[in-house]
Chains A and B, each alone.
Chain A
């Protein structure tokens, strides 16, 4: 096992992780075709509506849309394209957020949406720019951890006791205790 293997596997949602070595080798091949430019814009719009973070720029959504497409097999591509086209036909691209959300609620049990979700929920929140935006600093060991970098810097509550209570805990509190 190498770090490179891990990086590749990390692109997949937990329910899609390869179940064993044989599974990994027989995973569906990546699509040789791909979405149209219009469908890609629809995909980015869909991600914006499904995972609305007002303070996020477009770039993380664009990278996530790319990851979704890369994770789509040839067999799944038609269903993805059709799902996006159907949203397009209903004016999804220019709908306001409430209408666009309602349109997604109507299709969120369809395979194409579930497929997008299973990849996107991993890819979007595994994005380093998203980590920065959310205030998560990622790997810390090489920086010496947080022992000198704020593991205890919360200052809006008093410092609590860290030792155990100096009394004995009652472990049985019913009439049965007498038995």
Chain B
């Protein structure tokens, strides 16, 4: 496969803003800057797939969209045992992981920007307060919710209840939970912003063929191309960021699948390759000036890898549910999204509806299981309701992304190695979530509830965290490297701590805020 370009033609020797990655962060920064007249080269490692390419079929869709480059794992998390070469489930294509995200868009809570102050000292947790507050981000959350078209927000209507939600919400109500709804959710309940209403086809993780769900593929990237200021280069994977003798970054080397390495000159580089590839690229860009990796004077680059505390519950009933029909995650319970240490852990979690088809459910419901205990779960498929919990996991220094010492990818470059141990706080939270699921489903007549372990990570956070003090993190409050003024990180890697909420909305809000800062600094001539 060789690279393709679209939009404006920008000379490789012209130093422009170079953005690496076209997902929630990179795609948003590209649109925000090009709409302000700033020329941008957007490098996307994956191909330019569109709705016609996508398949309503789990395994073929996975093979088509997922980031399957070699990775290795270690640590006590079960993913390292069951899926040792698949630590994360993200997308390698134009639009990045926004092309398969589920859609839930809660905001972070105020205290989740101040966890060190609010949670206090927790053994083994590398907590830190963010250099910004919810108040700083609130206007950008408003803009992000407008971009994504979040339901239940700014006058937009809720999605209707699908079958899986009916079980989930009735259970929530019967156990005394109050904060349940079908959103907020980034898929249209009615036509909005040029996108049609959901047809409830049940396929989210395979790409939304109907185009009702927000992604940078359907919104930011085509609009950025329309400005005439964007050159999109797809199947173009960045392998190194270079810098000049003064220490400012000046170019990005990338491969477009051919024999030759290309280099694009840069005045600013924004890295948005997701929290595994972003630190990998910065580590691979080590130099004599940056011997431990680019912008790593703090030693925190690659550390504090977070993946959210997750787990699923699949409940079997006497009568049909057909959980696979309709928007997969259009159901949220927020009652446990609070900091209440009487539960035995810090931070909180959401519960959200979830459905997998039989093909995926068989592989993930209890990896390695067989026999009647396994087929009893599969036999109940039609009568099964499902949910997922997503909560704040503790940042730990030893949970990190490093460069493999011995495994190389097909370009001969070291693959990323992902190490993760659950913190005792994570384990206590997960067990609390499983018990909550038992109560919810039990109250509406479940015959049994299976506790499914975490899947390969869909939320990848931390690894380049923002900090007020350059000694504590990689980036300042704008996602700008403490060590390198014209280097930015624009994805979930920037998160100082992970909060409980699904991260896409916050990544978009932070990217909008960052782009506004970059544009202002460019017009002032200070960048």
**Could you tell me which A residues sit within 8 Å of B by CB distance?**
1, 3, 5-10, 13-15, 17-23, 50-53, 55, 101, 104-105, 108, 117, 121-122, 124-126, 130-131, 134-142, 144-147, 149-154, 156-165, 167, 169-174, 176, 179
Selected contact of A156 from candidates B109, B202, B319, CB within 8 Å: B319
| Assembled-state Cα–Cα distance A134/B200 (Å) | 20
CB within 8 Å for A124 and B203 given contacts A50-B371, A162-B182: no
Pair A163/B59 contact, Cβ less than 8 Å: no
A10 to chain B, nearest CB (A): 3
**Can you list 25 A-B pairs with a CB-CB distance of less than 8 A?**
A1-B1, A3-B64, A5-B63, A6-B59, A9-B59, A15-B83, A19-B70, A20-B68, A22-B409, A53-B379, A122-B59, A122-B362, A136-B382, A144-B201, A145-B202, A150-B325, A151-B200, A159-B161, A162-B165, A163-B152, A163-B181, A164-B181, A172-B111, A172-B340, A173-B339
Kindly list 5 other residue pairs between chains A and B, CB separation below 8 angstroms, not including A23-B410, A126-B59. A1-B1, A20-B68, A104-B371, A140-B201, A165-B178
B86 at the interface (CB under 8 A from A): yes
By DSSP majority rule, is chain B's interface helix, strand, loop, or mixed? loop
The closest CB in chain A to the CB of B327 belongs to: A151
Residue numbers in B under 8 Å from A145 (CB-CB):
198-202, 210
A173 touches B410 (CB 8 A): no
Q: Which residue on chain A has the smallest CB distance to residue B172?
A: A160
Query: Which chain B residues lie closer than 8 Å to A151 at the CB level?
Result: 160, 162-163, 200, 202, 325-326
Q: Contacts A117-B368, A152-B160, A172-B111 known; A135 to B326 CB distance under 8 Å?
A: no
Write out the residue numbers on chain B whose beta carbons fall within 8 Å of the beta carbon of A164. 152, 158, 179, 181, 183
**Other-chain contact of A146, B70, B200, B372, B379 (Cβ < 8 Å):** B200
B341 touches A (CB below 8 Å) = yes
Other-chain residue from B158, B319, B378 in contact with A134 (beta carbon distance below 8 A): B378
A172 proximity list for chain B (CB < 8 A): 111, 118, 338-340
Task: Give Cα distance in the complex from A10 to B335, angstroms.
Answer: 39
Evaluate whether A3 and B47 lie within 8 angstroms (CB atoms) in the complex, with A17-B68, A159-B161 already known: no
Tell me the minimal C-beta distance from B103 to chain A in angstroms: 15
In the complex, B375 has a CB within 8 A of chain A: yes
How far is B361's CA from A134's CA once the two chains are assembled, in angstroms?
A: 12
| A135 and B339 contact, CB distance less than 8 A | no
Interchain nearest-CB distance for B518 vs A (Å)? 32
Tell me the complex Cα distance, A179–B111, Å. Answer: 11
Interface pair B381/A136, CB less than 8 Å apart: yes
Known A1-B47, A21-B410, A154-B166: A9·B63 in contact at CB below 8 Å: yes
Residue among A10, A52, A125, A174 making CB contact with B339, cutoff 8 Å: A174
Min CB gap A61→B, angstroms: 12
Whole-angstrom distance from the CB of B88 to the nearest CB of chain A? 12
Contact between chains at B160 and A162 (CB < 8 Å) = yes
A50 to B370, CA, bound (A): 6
Whether B173 is near chain A, meaning CB under 8 Å from some CB there, is: yes
Residues of chain A with a CB closer than 8 A to B69's CB: 19-20
* Residues from chain A with Cβ under 8 Å of B169 in the complex: 160-162
Find residues 151-167 in chain B having any chain A CB closer than 8 Å to their own CB. 152, 158-163, 165-167
Size of chain B's interface in residues, with CB distance under 8 A?
92
B85 at the interface (CB under 8 A from A): yes
Decide if A125 touches B163 in the complex (CB within 8 Å).
Answer: no
B299 within 8 A of A: no
A160–B339 CA distance with the chains assembled, in angstroms? 27
Give CA–CA (A117, B365) in the complex, Å.
14
The answer to whether the Cβ of B75 comes within 8 Å of any Cβ in the partner chain is no
Nearest-neighbour CB distance to chain B for A171, whole angstroms, equals: 5
Residue of B nearest to A116 (CB): B370
Which A residues lie within 8 Å of B82 (CB)? Answer: 15
Segment from B48-56, B223-231, B261-269, B283-291 that makes contact with A = B48-56
Which B residues touch A17, using CB under 8 A? 63, 68, 85-86
Quote the shortest CB–CB distance from B525 to chain A (angstroms). 42
CA distance A13 to B84 in the complex (A): 13
Give the contacting residue for A125; candidates B162, B173, B203, B378; CB below 8 A.
B378
Is there contact, CB below 8 Å, between B68 and A140?
no
Interface residues of B in 353-390 (CB under 8 A from A): 357-359, 361-363, 368, 370-372, 374-375, 378-379, 381-382
What residues of chain B lie closer than 8 Å to A134, measured between beta carbons?
358, 378-379, 381-382
Q: How far is the CA of A171 from the CA of B49 in the complex (A)?
A: 41
A175–B17 Cα distance when bound, in Å, is: 48
The answer to the question of B110 belonging to the interface, with a C-beta cut-off of 8 Å to chain A, is yes
Nearest residue, chain B, Cβ from A156: B319
With most chain B CB atoms within 10 A of its CB, the pick from A140, A154, A169 is A154
A176 to B346, CA, bound (A): 11
Q: Of B110, B209, B372, B409, which contacts A141 at CB under 8 A?
A: B209
Given A141-B203, A141-B209, A179-B117: A157 and B166 within 8 A (CB)?
yes
A-contact bits for B175-186, CB 8 A (1 contact / 0 none): 000111111000
* Residue B13 is within 8 A (CB to CB) of chain A in the complex: no
Contact check, A10 vs B358: say whether CB atoms are below 8 A apart.
no
Closest Cβ of chain B to A114, distance in Å, is 8
Q: How far is the CB of B54 from chain A (nearest CB, A)?
A: 9
Cβ-based interface call for B321 (8 A): yes
Asked if residues B202 and A140 are in contact (CB atoms below 8 Å), the reply is yes
Q: How far is the CB of A158 from chain B (nearest CB, A)?
A: 7
Q: Is the CB of B118 within 8 A of A179?
A: yes
Contact present for B382 and A146 (CB under 8 Å): no
Smallest CB gap from A131: residue in B: B358
List 6 tightest A-B contacts by C-beta distance, closest first: A135-B382, A145-B199, A145-B201, A9-B63, A6-B60, A10-B59
* Distance in angstroms between the alpha carbons of A134 and B337 in the assembled complex: 35
For residue B130, CB closer than 8 A to chain A, the reply is no
- On whether A20 and B83 interact (CB within 8 A), knowing A51-B374, A138-B56, the answer reads no
Complex formed: what's the CA distance from A140 to B204 in Å? 12
- For residue B78, give the distance in angstroms from its CB to the closest CB of chain A: 13
Contact of A174 with B181 in the complex, beta carbons under 8 Å: no
Digit string of B393-426 for contact with A (CB within 8 Å is 1, else 0)?
Answer: 0000000000000000110000000000000000
Residue-wise interface mask of B (466-488) relative to A, using a CB-CB cutoff of 8 A (1 in contact, 0 not): 00000000000000000000000
A173 with B342: CB separation less than 8 A: yes
